[in-house]
Structure 1
Amino acid sequence: MTNNHLSKSLSTLSDTSPSVPKKQLYFPNLNGVRFIAAFSVLFHHIEQAKNVFGIDNIYTNHIIKQMGKQGVGLFFVLSGFLITYLLLHEKGKNQGINIKNFYIRRVLRIWPIYFIIVIAATLIFPNIPIMYEFSGNTKYNDPYFYPRLSLLLIVLPNLSFVFYELPYMCSQTWSIGVEEQFYYLWPWLIRANTWKKRLGIIAIFIAGTAAIFAFYFHFFTDYTTADLPKLLNFFMSQFRILMMVMGGLGAYLVFTKHAILKVLFLKKVQYIVYAILLTIIILGIQFKGLNLEVYSIFFCYFIVNVAANPDTIINLEYSVISYLGKISYGIYIYHIAVNIFVINLLKPYQNIWTNLHYNIVMYTFTVGLTILIASLSYHFLEQKLLAFKERFSH
């Protein structure tokens, strides 16, 4: 690949002059990345639910057990990449960032089906027998019902996850809370032009987060100060902002057409990096204390290459994969509820069919119904909101 080819490829993505058509911000293969992330989480949760329901499963296999974390991690890195690139593009084009419009766009994209699953999981599903979870506390009528619900309603599900158990069918929303907090912080940091301002923004963010944490800890839990280190450790283990920052770093390299991309885009480098990644996944190698952060480096490399490298050795631009990636947010939001419904529906046959027969039917119904619901959600709700969201885009 010549330097001219590299420059030409990246210039179509990062040109910030007013004459650049908006459509040139499209990155190839990223719907395919969403597909990989969503289906990694989907398969992980299917086997997890089978394990808890006492159905034969392969959940203890280290690859299956890590698929959920890695899928969410891939989502985080991808989110950091896209959000950072768009913010850098807007700042370069308009000499500033319209943060109000940024938040409106995020609300229109994230909140509608987030609230659908939260309301359904907390108020509707507990009253429908076929949607009962494996937990004996199916109605969640415990002393923490309202504090839990309040955190969900102010889009802090990750904090609710730390203090209280979430309804299983909206347990995946903890990652939405992490994403939202990244959005609260990141545009301000990108817009700021000095490190003094950035440090002040970070200080305000930490203080605000600490205040909310302390408020709920003091007034709405029975924990003592002795439990505080454990809770803080749990919160920080879920608060994977460094993974999104890593995606942001990748966006910066692409946006600035950094010289290091000449090396990172070499085919032999791609083969080496992907071989290392597959090896650590297959062998289940863990990096204690920084496991997901190490993986995020590989994920960032993968995303930067498939998005901006004209000589990428991986092509995900297939119609089916691209479509499933397009509806991946719905797949992520709805799949657990669908899985519980299917498991309860097939309960009478659990001890009659062979394990192979049961899994074929269960997987077919779960995956098929999840795709159907996500597709209907996308076409009849999300797509309309996405069109409206364009009014707040440059």
Structure 2
Amino acid sequence: MTKIKGFDGLRALSVIFVILTHLGIYATAQNAGWLSERAAPIISGTTGVQIFFVLSGFLITSLLIKEHEATGSVSLKGFYIRRALRILPLYFLCVLLTWFVDVYIWPVASTPSLIFAATFNTSFIPREWYSSILGHTWSLSVEEHFYLLWPAALLFLYKFNFNRALVHILLGTAISLCLLAVVMRIEEVNAAYFVARWSIFAGSWIALGCAAAIVVNGSAYARANALLASRGALWLAAALFLHSIVLGLLPKPLDETLRVLGAVLLVCWIAHNQKGRIVSALEYGPLAYTGKISYGLYMWQGFFLATGPGRAPGQLWPLNAGMGLILLCIVAPLSYHFFEKRFLALSGAFRHKGAMGAHGEKPARPSEKAPTASIASVNQ
């Protein structure tokens, strides 16, 4: 039995990037001259979310592939139920608490922003209706939109023809990012919307994770996997991820695309090098645990910190950033162990046991180098 190692550590780093951004730590460091403009994007909250997207696409697509290998098909009903049990309970709890605070404690969210969040459409919210306490829900919107379509497309449209799916993913991603580059330069649109968060654009980062899963899990890509497992791939991943230090800030979305490609290569390299020192470091206990509860951390940090440290005079909620961080560190673990795990246990009844174990394990085959992980571990 094998299990991917290192991914919880990546999730931990990603959610830490998000939390530090919303605490205003990076902005303070930049103002003090401690963090350069070139280095800041590497550890930004945006980068953290993009890594989450890549991991999500990789893991969920791997699950779909392994289920198809084991059964000859994929249970869309099982997939959507598992997805709902993982995401919806905590998500709607946070939205409900936000509504309660808005009505009875302090006006923290506009009515439209609550509606957009409750319907998983924050990725398309106009700026005039944006509420910072719900700002983080945009990434969940993108994921839910993507996964409404991707499993069905893989099953019915592509019929698990991986070559065709891979070509279409890469071509679609290229078109999407080129279109984003154009739309981002239309001032009127950018003034009204968070264009880069639109699902058709931000979904590109998930799509790249899906493409990586197809290659890593596909026996037809042996030569590509040999390269992805090499030390050269690791160095290339580092060069792409850290490119802004040398090249400076490139125009968007080129800057983010290079960084995400670095994350994709790193994910593939980790999947192929489970005994490496980097993987061992990512498996460090506190770091791995932080990754395990990262979905809760991500959701609760929005509720306790909002998406920035700014507070109005006399504001009753969110509390100051320091108190918010303390509450986050207390509530997120409790949420995982006493709330989220109950629904994770329920989702086990809808998981195909032949393809995956309850903790992200699967029957090992000699020809396979890259293990996969359980739907329960796709945190965000």
TM-score normalised to structure 2 length: 0.72
In structure 1, distance between residues paired with 2:338 and 2:84? 17
State the distance in 2 between where 1:79 and 1:265 align: 20
2:8 to 21, 28, 31: 31
Write the letter of the residue equivalent to 1:87.
L
User: What is residue 337 of structure 1 aligned with on the other side?
Assistant: 303
Compared CA separation, residues 327 and 57, structure 1 to 2 (3 A)? farther
Question: 1:366 offset after TM fit, Å?
Answer: 4.6
Asked if 1:74 corresponds to 2:35, the answer is no
Deviation per CA, 1:318-361: give whole Å up to 9, x if none: 1111100000011111113323699699x99xxxxxxxxxxxxx
Q: CA deviation at 1:383?
A: 0.7
* 1:249 partner amino acid: A
CA contact (8 A) 2:24 2:309 kept: no
Deviations 1:368-391 (A, max 9, x none): 432221101000110111011001
Deviation at 1:252, TM superposition (A): 1.0
Letter in 2 for 1:28: K
Shift of 1:163: 6.2
Q: Which of 195, 206, 218 is residue 256 of structure 1 equivalent to?
A: 218
Matched-pair contact (CA < 8 Å) for 1:78–1:303: yes
Counterpart selection for 2:77 from 89, 100, 107: 100
Deviation of 1:303 (Å): 0.9
Alignment partner of 2:337 out of 379, 383, 386: 379
1:151 aligned to which of 109, 116, 140: 116
* Cα contact 1:47–1:57 (8 A) shared by 2: no
Matched residue SS, 1:241: helix
Q: Does 1:240 align with 2:202?
A: yes
Q: 2:150 aligns to what SS in structure 1?
A: helix
Instruction: Judge which range, 102-111 or 248-257, deviates more.
Output: 248-257
Q: Distance in 2 between matches of 1:297 and 1:174?
A: 22
Query: Match of 1:101, SS?
Result: helix
Going from structure 1 to structure 2, the CA distance change for 1:187 and 1:165 (only over 3 Å counts) comes to: same
| Residues 178 and 240, structure 1, Cα contact 8 Å, conserved in 2 | yes
Aligned ranges 1:96-245 → 2 under 5 Å: 96-125=73-102, 127-128=104-105, 138-140=107-109, 145=111, 147-159=112-124, 161-162=125-126, 164-192=128-156, 194=158, 234=195, 239-245=201-207
Larger-gyration structure (1/2) = 1
Secondary structure, aligned partner of 2:278: coil
CA contact (8 A) 1:265 1:311 kept: no
* Residue 61 (structure 2) aligned to one of 70, 78, 84: 84
Q: Would the aligned equivalents of 2:55 and 2:267 in 1 still touch at CA under 8 Å? A: yes
TM-score when normalising by structure 1: 0.69
Task: Compute the displacement of 1:308 (Å).
Answer: 2.7
Equivalent-residue separation in structure 2 for 1:90 and 1:274 (angstroms): 32
Distance 1:310 1:341 in 2: 35
1:285 aligns with 2:222: no
Coordinate RMSD, CA, aligned: 3.8
Contact 2:304 2:328 in 1 (8 A): yes
> Corresponding residue for 1:322?
288
Matched, 1:308 2:269: no
> What code does the residue aligned with 2:140 have?
I
**Does the aligned pair in 2 maintain the 1:44–1:59 contact within 8 Å?**
no
Match of 1:391 in 2: 349
Task: Give the superposition deviation at 1:227.
Answer: 6.2
Closer, same or farther: CA 272–235 of 1 in aligned 2, 3 Å: closer
Deviation at 1:164, TM superposition (A): 4.7
In structure 2, do the counterparts of structure 1 residues 88 and 231 end up closer, same or farther at CA, with 3 Å as the change threshold?
Answer: farther
Question: Which stretch of structure 1 is more off in the superposition, 92-101 or 289-298?
Answer: 289-298
Q: Which amino acid aligns with 1:176?
A: L
Are the structure 2 counterparts of residues 56 and 157 from structure 1 closer, same or farther at C-alpha, using a change threshold of 3 Å?
A: same
Measured in 2, the distance between the counterparts of 1:292 and 1:69 equals: 9
Unaligned runs of 5+ in 2: 169-186, 315-319, 353-380
Asked if the contact 2:113–2:134 (Cα under 8 Å) also holds between the matched residues in 1, the reply is no
Find the counterpart in structure 2 of residue 12 from structure 1.
Answer: none
Would the aligned equivalents of 1:109 and 1:385 in 2 still touch at CA under 8 Å?
yes
Note the C-alpha offset of 1:57.
10
